[in-house]
Structures are given as structure tokens and as C-alpha cells.
Amino acid sequence: MGRWVTQAQIWRFVCLTSSVIGLICYGLSSSFILLFGNWNLLKILSYSVFSFAICLAVWFAKVCQHSHSMNLICKAHLSVMVLTVTSVYSFFYDKQVNTKPDAFSLISCASFAIMSLSLSTQIHLGFEVDLLYFFLGCFILQLMKIKLLLAIVGASFSYSLVILRSSLKLESSDYALDQVVIDSLQVQPNPGTDISLFMPHSGQSHMQTLLKYNLVACAQAIADSDLLAAEIFIVQLREVVSVSGVPMQRLGAYMMEGLVARLENSGSKIYKALKCYQATKVGGISYMHMLHQICLNFKFGYMCANGAIAQAMKGEDKIHIIDFQIGEGSQWLTLIQDFAARPGGPPHIRITGIDDSKSADALQMVGNKLSKLAEDFKVPFEFHAAPVSACDVELENLGVRSGEALAVNFAFMLHHIPDESVSTQNHRDRLLRLVKSLSPKVVTLVEQESNTNTAPFFSRFLETLDYYTAMFESIDVTLPRNQKERISIEQHCLARDIVNIIACEGAERVERHELFGKWRSRFSMAGFTPYPLSSLLNDDIKHLLKNYSASYRVQERDGAVYMDWKNRALVASSAWK
């Protein structure tokens, strides 16, 4: 069957044409005369208005379906109204019309059946298929009144329309995916989104193609406030997603939960309930620590940041590092060891750890762990705990001392700070200006290369699907799919972020990533200039990634070092002064 058959405009034209033919023929039929009597001026005017309304309805049916006012209740009322009208018509038709139908009656029934078929290819309001069966039944019944054997003709006609409708659904599934995504991206283009991700590829299974289609179509339905269609897609999604399946199935499970949370307005509760720093049963380490071990995004980012700090601090005897989201402090384990091996002896290191997700005692435990490591490697060390939100940080929280070379670390944290799109206070830029006022020797920035900060919902959904597809595929390289630890890591860390990006808006949406170009503008406006990273560092990183997969790539451009998975940039790392 040709692709032209799936074109919406063709079926829209067929729908209008068949409705016009059906209305004209019905007005000329003997059935109309028997039911409503002979024509007069009032009946002509009334039928003309009614016919015009029907033609407008079928022509703009698809537009009405995507209207924000066409909610689930309205659609239910419309379905009940259609059911009532057809039932009342059937009652009076059976009661009044006992003669054999004429040609106009037959043509009108066939035309209305074709109109219903056309409607079913354009809208999903719940009654169009029933309407098709109703008119097909009327058509067969009228043929049987003429001659019983003509039921075969009616059944053949009905069978052909039903089979055509089924074929159209199968034929248009892949094509519809292309159109949904391309049309939507034309409305809200997102430069960070790879459109080819959503197109069917020869290497993809039918399941993966169907899963992507249903995810995108469900998000589009939610964006259009088409709740009925969204619920249908969610039912279909539940049949194919799996937290222990291939990357697309696992990601699909969490993307679907994000869509459900958006419908139920529960995204913020889920985000707060999932604790990525919660200790696991495996040695008491957290899910986030385990994620750092299996996901090279973090190893790459920390390696770049540590390399820039080590390079900037050559020859310095007293070093102060301010880490604005220290977490468990795992980033500094290798740097302390590197400083311990420095010719001429290690410097004195002081780390200020800022993290509002931890209590003062928990932060001090991180400090104790780092102090123990520094003691083992004979590195003079101090730790200053600052259990305060980065939004509330002031100069006195940072413990800056004269005579110390200062390094500031923003690793995977600035995207959590609200900017001008969330609050007039614009903590994101305020924090950068505060850091610049400290005159640091180096400031490191590591962020996911994703554009979800100010993007509207549907574009943000596509960007998230694109980004995390690459991320889940990369995790497959390092950990088996059926391993329980991997499932827990993805649920507590990655699913948490995905749900927040998809389901939340306003201040509740904490995960607000920006592309490096935007970060570069922010740093430049705050007065920073780029600090070039060593080429030796890039070589070390490339060597590290090659040990995992050839799909990883490292590229240096626009003043940053990017880590890519295949053709998708995952992380951008840069340094500033």
C-alpha cells in the first residue's frame, strides 16, 4: 500500500467529500421522506444548517481533538451524544421505514460509512469506529430488504472497509513516528536533539521502534492535553518496557513513569523519595557512588577537573579547594594521591565541602574519610564542612584565607541552581559572580551536555530521550543488564533525574541542564576567561575510554573537552580563571 494512503490531508478530503455526498443523497432518499415528510422551506433551511455543521465538524475534527478544551469529560459527552442520536434514529427508522430503500438511501449509507472510516484515521475520540460499524450495518440491512442475497454484497463492502482500516493502522505506524517528531521539532526546534534517534533504523527491532513511537506519541498527547490518547499509549508502553531489558526498554520504563507522574502531578514527590546518596546493602556505599563506578560520565568529568586543578596548582604550597557539591568526596581521592607523589613533597591541602543534602555530621564523615587517606599518603590536610545550599552561600561560608591558592569546583552541580527563568534572584549567575570576586587560580566546570533548562515540555522530553538513550547504552558496556545493583542504581539515580525533568515545572524542576555554549556565556559575563586544559590530559582520557568501548570519543572544541557516546555529546568539561 502506498504511503500516500496514510496522508492525513487525503483522508481529510475523502471524509469531507463522502459526508457531502451522503448528506445530499440522504436528503433525496425515500427514507428521509418517510421519516420527516415532504420538503418545505423550513426543512430545507434546517437540513442545510445541519449539513453545514456536519461538514465543518468532519473537516476540523483533528483540530478539535487536539484542542486544550477537548478534555476527557468532553470526549465522553460527545461519545454518549453520538450513541444516543444513532440509537434514536435506529428506533424511528425501524418503526417508520418498512419499504424497500432506493438508490439514494444505499449511497448515503455507503458514503457515511466511508466518512466514518476517514474519521477513524484522523481522530481517536472513541466513537468513530462504532459509527463505521453502525453505517455498515445499516447498509447491509437495506440491501437485504431489496434482496436477501445482496447481503453478500454488503458484507463484502463492509469487509473491505474494515480490512482497509486495519491495513492503514499497520502501514502508518512507522510513518506516523516520523511525522509526530518532525512536525513537533519544527514548532519547537532544539539544537541539542538528534532527530534521527526517533526514526526507525534497520538495526532496531520492531519492539524498539514501537516503544520509541509510543513514548513520543504519548508525550505529544500530553502536550496537547489529549488525556485519553495518553492513557492508551501508557497501557501499550507497560507491555514493552522493562527495568532489566535492553537500554531502550529500561529507559522507556523510566520515561513512562515520568509521563505518568506528570499526569498525576507527583514528580516532585518521587524526586524527593528516591535517595541517590542512600547507603546500599553492598558495603554501605551509596547508589551515587556505584553510579560513578559504572558510568564514565563522572570519571571523565572528575579526571578533567582534577587535571586542570593539578595543572593550575603547580608550585603552590598551600591549596584551598572549594567543592560546591562534594557528595561523598570521591573526586578528591585520586587528586590527593597525585599531590602526594609531587616532586619536592606534597602541598598543604584544605577542602571546603558544600552540600545541603547532607547534615553537618554526614559532611564531617566525608572529611574524615579524606583526612584518613591524606594521612596514609602523608599529605597535610584540612577539611571544612559547609552544610548549606549553594543558593544561600555567602562569603563567610567559604572560609577563604589569604596566602592560599584557590580552586573552585563546579562538577555536575550548577544545573541544580535556579537561574533567571525560575527566580528573579538568579542564583546561578549570582554564585558565579561571588566566585569571581574571590580571584581563584582556576574554576572547573563539568556538566551534562543537554538542553533542558528553559525548553518547553515536549522539546524537553525529546532531548531527554535522546540524551539518556546514549547514557543507558554506555552503561550496558560496563555492567550486565540483569544485575540487581545496576537496576537499583538506575532507579535511584537516573530515573530520579528523568522523572524530575519530564514531570516537574517551575521551582520543582531541579534538573535544569544547559549546553556548554550557554555556560560559556554565563562565565564570560561573570568576568571569567578560559583556562586551557593540557593536551597530555586529553591523551590520558582517550586512553582510559578506549579500555571500555570504541563508541566513546573525546573531542576538544570551543574551549571545552567533550566526551561523546557515538554521535551524542554526553559531558562537557572546561576550566576558567
The DSSP code sequence of 199-243 is: S--TTS-HHHHHHHHHHHHHHHHHHTT-HHHHHHHHHHHHTT--T
Residues 6+ apart with CB under 8 A from 80: none
Type of residue numbered 555: Q
Check residue 176 and give its pLDDT: 42
Query: Residue 533 domain-assigned?
Result: yes
- List, for residues 429-456, the tens digit of each pLDDT value: 999 999 999 999 999 999 999 999 999 9
Those residues of the chain that have pLDDT short of 70 are: 1-8, 62-79, 95-97, 124-126, 168-205, 277-284, 357-358, 482, 536
CA angle 336, 342, 344 (to 5 degrees): 130
Query: Residue 199 domain-assigned?
Result: no
Under 8 Å between Cβ of 338 and 305: no
Query: Residue 155 domain-assigned?
Result: no
Pairing relation of β-strands 318-323 and 405-411? parallel
Say how far apart CA 20 and CA 8 lie, in whole Å: 18
Query: Residue 485 domain-assigned?
Result: no
Query: Residue 183 domain-assigned?
Result: no
Query: Residue 175 domain-assigned?
Result: no
CB-CB neighbours of 368 under 10 Å:
12
CB-CB neighbours of 552 under 10 Å:
21
Under 8 Å between Cβ of 429 and 526: yes
Query: What is the strand order of the sheet 560-565 is part of?
Result: 381-386, 348-354, 318-323, 405-411, 442-448, 568-576, 560-565, 552-557
Check residue 134 and give its pLDDT: 87
Under 8 Å between Cβ of 570 and 563: yes
Query: Residue 478 domain-assigned?
Result: no
**Residue ending a domain, choose from 111, 146, 181:** 146
Check residue 283 and give its pLDDT: 54
Residue 142: what are its φ and ψ, rounded to 5°? -70, -40
The SS3 call for residue 360 is helix
Type of residue numbered 329: G
Number of domains in the chain: 2
Query: Residue 250 domain-assigned?
Result: no
CA 20 to chain centre: 42
Q: Which domain holds residue 97?
A: 8-61+78-146
Check residue 429 and give its pLDDT: 94
First to last CA, the chain: 62
Residue 449: what are its φ and ψ, rounded to 5°? -85, 80
**Residue ending a domain, choose from 124, 146, 168:** 146
- List, for residues 218-272, the tens digit of each pLDDT value: 999 999 888 888 888 898 899 889 988 889 999 999 999 999 999 998 988 888 8
Closest residue by Cα to residue 444 from 418, 472, 406: 406
**Residue ending a domain, choose from 112, 146, 180:** 146
Q: What is the CATH number of the domain that holds 378?
A: 3.40.50.150
